Structure 1
């Protein structure tokens, strides 16, 4: 009779051990699947239009060749994959941010990226209008919007606002440097 109890105890232990092993493997698989395929989808390269209160709205944007930026959950983002041949310095911007109290400001250097050299003259001629468009976008932001995870969205807003003004080519990227908020 002791053999039957001992075999039954070993069998129950094996079932519990196998069940725990299956649960651990299922949990590890679920974690891997989430982190690999789902976690990055909110940083989709299909970024863009965000208003001053909602930094998460997205829409598809076409690049210069007419191809639509496809969402793939890539954390690098569409704009980080585009390297422009030429850049145009819009100089520094210092703007008040839209936070309550009006005590916060942003100081930032902005460069426009493009591939068609003939666009340089047009950008020079339209620099005051372009600076005004960039100021309009930046003034609508809050300190919380000036966060690395929202910068591609701000860049896309700038591209979308400036490209309709241009006749000799299109922007394909915006570069920021010297970002300071206070």
Structure 2
């Protein structure tokens, strides 16, 4: 009988030891996986959040009129992506006014070019939604900065591989 009890105690000790060893290996693997793979993607998303926060702060500062040169005028993008020409009806009474404008997106990460190409229809839709809410008196040099900031704020959540840092307009025509 005593021999059977000692075998059970020895077997229980081996099971507990193997379970502890297994838990240590799983914990070490989880830590390594987190530190190698997930930690890097978390810092990228926190960089994107930080950049978006700085854009919002810059928008608030420029809307208050505290700075002589705006935030977006100071940012020069490494790359640009042509979204295309837009012709939209403006939100004026009577619906007789329209805006024709060419839009270019500014960014610094070359990896973003492929994603912008893939998501061009969604980006165009976001730009159209913003432009259609504007009136003729909104399309002036004072308000263009806030329109650009609004576009960046609405387009950046659509992107995963990087963020926009500027918007460029050309060929602006209102009637």
Give me the TM-score of the superposition, normalised by structure 1: 0.63
Please give the alpha-carbon distance, in whole angstroms, between the structure 1 residues aligned to 2:92 and 2:126.
20
Q: Where does residue 117 of structure 1 map in the other structure?
A: 110
Residue by residue, what CA displacement relative to the aligned partner does 1:65-95 show, whole Å, maximum 9, x if unpaired?
Answer: 9685383822210000000000000110000
Say if 2:147 is the partner of 1:154: yes
1:165 deviates by 0.4
Unaligned runs of 5+ in 2: 1-48
Please give the alpha-carbon distance, in whole angstroms, between the structure 2 residues aligned to 1:149 and 1:173.
17
Indicate how the Cα distance of structure 1 residues 145 and 66 shifts in structure 2: closer, same or farther if over 3 A, else same. closer
How many residues get paired? 122
Q: Where does residue 88 of structure 2 map in the other structure?
A: 95
Say if 2:175 is the partner of 1:170: no
Q: Where does residue 51 of structure 2 map in the other structure?
A: 63
Indicate how the Cα distance of structure 1 residues 147 and 64 shifts in structure 2: closer, same or farther if over 3 A, else same. same
Deviation above 3 Å: which 4+ runs of structure 1? 64-72
From 120, 136, 142, the equivalent of 2:135 is 142
Give me the TM-score of the superposition, normalised by structure 2: 0.65
Indicate how the Cα distance of structure 1 residues 138 and 74 shifts in structure 2: closer, same or farther if over 3 A, else same. same
Please give the alpha-carbon distance, in whole angstroms, between the structure 2 residues aligned to 1:140 and 1:64.
22
2:103/2:168 contact within 8 Å kept: yes
SS in 2 for 1:149: coil
Q: Where does residue 12 of structure 1 map in the other structure?
A: none
Whose radius of gyration is greater, 1 or 2?
2
What value does the CA root-mean-square deviation take over the aligned residues? 2.0
Q: Larger % of helix: which?
A: 2
Larger CA deviation: 72-81 vs 90-99: 72-81
Unaligned runs of 5+ in 1: 1-60
Please give the alpha-carbon distance, in whole angstroms, between the structure 2 residues aligned to 1:130 and 1:88.
11
